[in-house]
Chains A and B, each alone.
Chain A
Amino acid sequence: MILVLGEHSEGKIKKTTFELVSKATELGQALNTEVSVALIGKGIEGAEGLGTYGAQKVYHIPTLEKYNPEGMTKILHTLVSELKPSIVLGTASPMGKDLFPRLALRTGAGLTTDCTGLKVDNGKLVATRPIFAGKAFIDVTYETEIQMATTRPNSFMLKTLSPDQKAQVIEKSIEPGEMRTNLVEIVKGKSDRPDLTEASIIVSGGRAMQNSENFKILWELADTIGATVGASRAAVDSGYAPHDMQVGQTGKTVNPNLYVACGISGAIQHLAGMRTSKVIVAINKDPEAPIFKRATYGITGDLFQIVPLLTQEFKKVLAE
């Protein structure tokens, strides 16, 4: 069996979970085994719908409402011991990244984190992942019976197996046990946009933005095309943007379908964080800027002129 740890946000199952179930189904076909999903929390909608992407069973465990590393490890360890999956997959989200190493240790599994590719070779899982923030790639093989991996959002295509297929939902009550980490509160961010690490479109600004006020033109473009806004380290260090907006080797590693770099030179540390972007647009007034070597589409010009024109043009065509 392949077990996928599903994620939800306020009861809504996340897109990354559907992506992962689609991929798991493909692996399951190669291994001739079925796919199950674990969903932890209360009030989760549409669990049956995971069947559309190939999941046969969904184990719903309502005993832990909020994420807790110890509680979640205990619950999943119990589930894994019972179901004996050969592969356990999760998203390389803030939760998955935090949880899986602990779970892998307790269950005796080998773990590969933040993967961008998964395949089956000779009956075993082989995981592909970037290292040095994407400056190189490796394949990881397993020496263990249970093989675990967390995968980066936007790495796999959504694939509908059969639109009417419903997964069987099984309620399970597993207690989280003693917890020495107590989640006191969750402080919401200012925006309800997806995090940079999960965003499928990103508009980023560099030192050229000159101040935080000017980021407004990037937000306007982002609002028009459903993007999240990022920044270079130079912009963050100069105080134009908060540090959780930093993209790069010492910031966030992103994996969007579209990355628009505005006034960013393309230093090696910045490229490292965004080089797996599928399409890269660079707007820079220096025709020699290194970012142009990586860009799918380049525009030489003043971002303060180009970005508002882009917003305008998008508004026009998207309204049609």
Chain B
Amino acid sequence: MKIGVFVKQVPDTETKIRTKADGSGIEIDGVKFIVNPYDEFAIEEALKTKEKAGAAEVVILSLGPTRVVEALRSGLAMGADRAIHIDDSGIVLDSFVTAKILAKTAETEKFDLIFCGKQAIDDDAAQVPQMVAELLNIPHVMVIEKFEMNAEKNGVVVHRRIGGGAKEVYDVKLPAIFGCEKGLNTPRYASLPGIMKARSKPVTTLKALELMGDSKPRTGNRNYRLPPERPAGKMLQGTPEEVAKELVRLLREEAKVI
């Protein structure tokens, strides 16, 4: 069995986002990058699935500049077998073009199963996995918090979170792609031997330009800006009884939200 994992490198969650003065993008000078937190659940689930299946190979893929190799190395240190870096230099990406490139690579690799995060915490678009599934003509299930192979190993049962604490249980034929959610597992830490070993594991580099064919972005982003500052709020003063009473009054009469 061959398991693919899509990994994105994103700014650390602590990052205070700054936009470029002309609104053309985000300032990335001095930004610390991490593996997209949801992708860590994806890597972990791939490793767990490999352990259960016995013979399997876990291949992690990342599209981006040279720095994304760091993200791949941390996946290798967790236990993935090899990595593919798809160099994005010279191209304009949107979800569609990204999906095209990843699907093309996945097609060559012939994965039986693909895991990814339910969304990347930078653009929060949550589009790429479903688009890759459509391009590969395979099923997808997003926002999974439980994953189990069936006995014949040609299919899986997954639990997908929907609103209000409810979930859907799906039976899915492989190959398929799954978007992982918190709660699915607890990602392991890379051990020291794991980190040492990762250094000698193979990382192949491909060029996105050669994989994208004639695909062009379907959407364009502009006018990057920070949200408007909230006006200074009101601090309520008085005894607990007084402030509770005043807050209820303000919420009803001034803010009119209740």
Contacts and interface: CB of A to CB of B under 8 A. Distances in A.
Contacts of B135: 105
Q: Which has the most chain B C-beta neighbours within 10 Å: A296, A305, A317?
A: A296
Contacts of A69: 130, 139-141
Contacts of A215: none
Interface string B119-130: 001111111111
B108 interface: no
B171 interface: yes
Interface in B150-187: 157, 159-173, 176, 182-183
Interface stretch (A21-29, A38-46, A96-104, A206-214): A96-104
**Binding site of B, secondary structure by majority: helix, strand, loop or mixed?**
mixed
Interface residues of A, number: 99
A274 B106 CA distance: 36
A105 B131 contact: yes
Interface string B238-258: 001101110110111001011
A249 B124 CA distance: 10
A114 interface: yes
Interface in B36-75: 37-38
Contacts of B143: 94, 97-98
A137 to B, nearest CB: 5
Nearest to A313: B248
Q: How large is the interface on B (under 10, 10 to 19, 20 to 34, 35 or more residues)?
A: 35 or more
Contacts of B138: 180
Interface in A54-84: 67, 69-70, 73
Contacts of A272: 13
A105 B140 CA distance: 14
Contacts of A244: 161, 165, 183
A138 B182 CA distance: 27
B165 A189 contact: yes
Given A296-B255, A300-B235, A183 B250 contact: no
A111 B223 contact: no
Given A268-B14, A309-B241, A184 B157 contact: yes
Contact of B219 (A143, A201, A297, A318): A143
A176 interface: no
B254 to A, nearest CB: 9
Contacts of B200: none
A319 interface: no
A294 B124 CA distance: 22
B153 to A, nearest CB: 16
B17 interface: yes
Interface in A160-210: 180-195, 197-198, 201
B172 A110 contact: no
B90 interface: no
B224 A136 contact: yes
B169 A187 contact: yes
Contacts of B192: none
A8 interface: no
B237 to A, nearest CB: 9
Contacts of A257: 257
B193 interface: no
A113 B126 contact: yes
A314 B130 contact: no
Given A181-B170, A297-B236, A298-B234, A306 B140 contact: no
The 6 tightest CB contacts between A and B, nearest first, are: A189-B165, A195-B163, A110-B218, A101-B130, A309-B244, A101-B127
Interface of A: 67, 69-70, 73, 93-95, 97-102, 104-106, 108-114, 129-144, 180-195, 197-198, 201, 225, 242-244, 246, 249-251, 253, 257-258, 268-269, 272, 275-276, 278-282, 292-302, 305-306, 309-310, 312-314, 317-318
18 contacts: A97-B142, A99-B130, A101-B95, A113-B127, A130-B124, A135-B16, A138-B223, A142-B219, A144-B219, A182-B172, A183-B168, A187-B166, A187-B168, A246-B182, A249-B13, A258-B257, A292-B233, A309-B241
